[in-house]
Amino acid sequence: MQLQLKIWHKMIIGIAIPSLIVLVGSIFTYEYLNDVKDRQEFVEIADDIKEDVLEIRRNEKNFFLYRNAEHRDNVYNAIFILKNTISSISQEIIEDIGQEDFSVLNESVQTYTDYIDELYESYREETKVTERVREEGRKLEDSVAKGRRAGGLTTSFVLNLRRLEKNYMFFRDKRSFLELHTALSELGDTAPGCTECISYKKAIGDLISAYSKSASVEKKLQVTGNRLEKIALKIARRERQKIKSFITVTNRFLLAAVALLCLLGPFFVYRTAKYIVTPINRLSEITKRIAAGDLNVRAPLKERDETYSLALSFNTMLDHLRERENQLIEKEKELYQSKKLASIGILTSGVAHELTNPLNNISMIAQTYTELYDKLSREDRLAFMNNVEKEAERIRDIVRDLLDFSKPKEKSFREADINTVVEKSLKLVQNMLDISNIETSVTLGSGIGRVFIDEHQIQQVLVNLITNAIQAMPGGGRLYIETGLSSDGEFVEIAIRDTGKGIPPEFLPHIFDPFFSTKGVEGTGLGMSVSYGIIKTHKGNIKVQSKVGEGSTFTVELPVYRGDAA
Ligand SMILES: Nc1ncnc2c1ncn2[C@@H]1O[C@H](COP(=O)(O)OP(=O)(O)O)[C@@H](O)[C@H]1O
Ligand SMILES: [Mg+2]
């Protein structure tokens, strides 16, 4: 079964789906932006870590340079700040940074701190050894100055040695080391038995090992420092990267939502509009057909929406309308019948009047005939009888018309060709036409279709019309008979035109009334009235155009037969 939705359901769906797209898009975007906000915090922390580590490294350099407690404490302070930052990191962020990296960070900080301690110790050792070297150096200097020369030891040699010692302390590089070393071995060679020389050399040896110890700790410290720096930079970079990709995803999401809306939005709106308009259009189509007079149409009961009940009431209305129409037709018939009855009332008095004259005439002729019988010649007697015959004829005419008017004859409708009917009717009046000095011109249209008629009745109408035309041209004239199609193609038209006296405008509304006649004893006034009734039962029309002194045209319209009994 097809889904049956009400119009407002369809409207809600049509509006809701695009709105839903917008809503879902907005919610996702909102969520994402919220995440970005949280991320921003991570980035800040990551930046803090980086800054803290760099600060440590800076202090580390100074410590390397000054090698004293003050600068060690500076490094400690910087480490303390970093530790504080690390301890302020929430579990959530730790997870985000990655447990592994976080452990490496922590570990590195600890190792670094240990190395700083170790290095400080080493520096202190250095200081002590340096003191000793200086002391031993002075002793050696003194002994040489006091002339206690051992071997070929000269003051200048010792002074040079002391210079190389200072150089080494200052530069701590390979070159100064080698120079010192060479000078020392020379010292050993030159003064093998010099005790001050041995102590001095020993002190220098201790200095070298203290220096190398510091150097190795410094190296380890730098390595750890580098690791610390690397990991801090990595964390900071990764957090930035994550934010970037978050924003990219949000961007894509928004774009997708907008694209979806652009694609589906118009589609849904169009579908909704169509859904709503289609049944309404269908109803409007039907209303048009009803307006054109077709009461047999019914609204289809397709959609089970609001138009369903509309279509239902529509159909009920149509049923009522048709019933009303039938009643009206019935009423019309009754009215026609009652009018006819009324006419019959008039008719009876009319008939009485109409018949009285010829009857009186006959009666008078009979009386006169009887009284004068002996005095009458044979011609006179024949003339009398002729008059009787005439009066009787008149009575017969009246009675015949009367019968035509009042007695509803059995109708026998058949398909027919109007031209044939016209020709047959003409034959019936040919004799009359011949003696009335009237020329006839007949134009029969070809291919005008067929009609569905009671042929006898239509002939009667045509004979009535032609008779009237003849009577309108007592001095002779022209009779035109034409057949053809109406301009809309719905009717077959038969026009009968005379060049007679015409009908005064004030009579025009009455010519179809029963007994309306301007012909005195010559007319019954029933011809037009009977004809009108016949044409109406054929669903046709009869129209008149007339001008006094010029003539009249009567046009009969009969519906073209289309193969159905309608
Ligand atoms: N072709 C016509 N020309 C002039 N008048 C006409 C014509 N046809 C009808 N009439 C007028 O209409 C009246 C009624 O016609 P009808 O009903 O046939 O009665 P009747 O012919 O017996 O008088 C006529 O008396 C006449 O006045
Ligand atoms: Mg007549």
Q: Which tens digit of pLDDT belongs to each residue from 338-387? A: 655 655 665 566 667 777 888 898 999 999 999 998 998 999 999 999 99
Residue 404 pLDDT: 66
CATH hierarchy code of domain 411-559: 3.30.565.10
Domain with CATH 3.30.565.10 in the chain: 411-559
- Joined together, the tokens standing for residue 493 give 């038209």
Closest Cα to atom 27, ligand 1: which residue? 518
Does any ligand 1 atom lie closer than 6 A to the CB of residue 498? yes
Query: Per-residue confidence at 521, pLDDT binned at 50, 70, 90?
Result: confident
| Ligand 1 contact via 552 beta carbon (within 6 Å) | yes
Mean pLDDT on 168-191: 88
pLDDT at 284 over 70: yes
Mean pLDDT throughout 241-254?
Answer: 84
Furthest-apart CA atoms within the chain: distance in Å: 226
Q: State the pLDDT at residue 43.
A: 84
CA atoms within 13 A on the CB side of 350: 20
Q: Which atom of ligand 1 approaches the CA of 528 most closely?
A: 17
User: What is residue 565's predicted lDDT score, i.e. its pLDDT?
Assistant: 47
Task: Extract the tokens encoding 363.
Answer: 């009666």
Tokens found for residue 261? 């809306």
Establish how many alpha carbons lie within 13 A of residue 142's alpha carbon, considering only the half-sphere containing its beta carbon: 9
> Ligand nearest 517 Cα, by number?
1
Cβ atoms of residues 413 and 534 within 8 Å: no
Q: Is 460 in the pocket of ligand 1 (CB under 6 A)?
A: no
For the entire predicted model, the pTM comes to 0.48
Instruction: For the chain, give the percent of residues with pLDDT over 70.
Output: 93
Residue 517 Cβ inside 6 Å of ligand 1? The answer reads yes
Q: What is the mean pLDDT of the chain?
A: 86
Q: How far does the centroid of ligand 1 lie from the alpha carbon of residue 385, in Å?
A: 30
Nearest CA to ligand 1 atom 4: 502
- Quote the CA–CA distance of 253 and 36 in Å, as a whole number: 14
Q: Which atom of ligand 1 is nearest to the CA of 551?
A: 3
Q: Where is 275: in which H helix or E strand?
A: helix 195-291
Q: Which atom of ligand 1 lies at the shortest distance from residue 496's CA?
A: 1
Whether 1 has a pLDDT exceeding 50, the answer reads: no
Cα(145)–Cα(133) distance, rounded to whole angstroms? 18
Nearest to residue 140, comparing CAs of 127, 153, 131, 151?
A: 153
Paired sense of beta strands 477-485 and 491-498, if any? antiparallel
Distance 211 CA to ligand 1 centre (A): 153
CA–CA dist 11, 273 (Å, integer): 8
Residue 187 CA to residue 201 CA, distance in Å, equals 9
* Nearest CA-CA partner of 454 in 536, 511, 334: 536
Residue of minimum CA distance from atom 22 in ligand 1 = 523
- The two structure tokens encoding residue 428: 């019936």
Calculated CA dihedral for residues 153, 159, 161, 167, nearest 10 degrees: 180
Q: Please identify every residue whose CB atom is under 5 Å from ligand 2, which is an ion.
A: 468, 527
**Two structure tokens written together for 165:** 């010692």
Cα–Cα dist 488/532, whole Å = 23
pLDDT, residue 263, reads: 86
* Segment holding 453, helix H or strand E: strand 451-453
Can you tell me the distance from the alpha carbon of 496 to that of 128, in angstroms, rounded to the nearest whole number? 153
Specify the range with the lowest mean pLDDT, choosing from 139-148, 221-230, 312-321, 448-457.
139-148
Q: Is 516 in the pocket of ligand 1 (CB under 6 A)?
A: yes
pLDDT at 351: 67
Q: State the closest ligand 1 atom to the C-alpha of 500, by its place in the atom list counted from 1.
A: 3
The C-alpha atoms of residue 389 and residue 367 are separated, in whole angstroms, by: 15
Identify whether the C-beta of residue 549 lies closer than 8 Å to the C-beta of residue 561. Answer: no
Ligand index nearest the alpha carbon of residue 518: 1
DSSP secondary-structure letter at 561?
P
Of 112-116, 244-248, 549-553, give the lowest mean pLDDT range: 244-248
H or E segment and range at residue 27: helix 7-66
With cut-offs at 50, 70 and 90, classify the pLDDT of residue 566: very low
C-alpha–C-alpha distance, residues 379 and 376, integer Å: 8
Which stretch of DSSP H or E encloses residue 439?
strand 438-443
Return the residue matching tokens 């928004």: 254
